[in-house]
Amino acid sequence: MAKMTQYEKGYSEGKLDAAENELYMLYRIKEQSGEQIHESSALLVRIKETEEYLLENGRDIDIEEDDNVYDEDM
């Protein structure tokens, strides 16, 4: 496997950071919907795909309700 350039490393890290933020937002949407969501819904499918992507690339997915990925007061 070829060595990644600094640009490629940064690009990859940026994609993973974006995926973590997306996953957090998907969790929030799921939580705030207050409804029972079927496992084949687009929301749950996307959550599963994003979790798998992060795990495959060495990222943890242990987002807690109290984690602040962004400041809601902004």
**Four-CA torsion 1, 46, 15, 68, nearest 10 degrees:** -130
Question: Would you give the end-to-end CA distance of the chain in angstroms?
Answer: 43
pLDDT tens by residue, 5-38: 999 999 999 999 999 999 999 999 999 988 888 8
> At CA 21, angle to CA 44 and CA 71, rounded to 5?
120
Assess whether pLDDT exceeds 70 at residue 72: no
pLDDT value at residue 34: 83
For 30-58, the pLDDT digits (tens) are 999 888 888 899 999 999 999 999 999 99
Residue whose structure tokens are 């997306």:
22
Six-digit token string for 3: 């060595």
Cα–Cα distance measured from residue 5 to residue 48, given in angstroms and rounded to the nearest whole number: 30
Q: Is the pLDDT of residue 67 over 60?
A: no
Structure tokens at 2: 């070829």
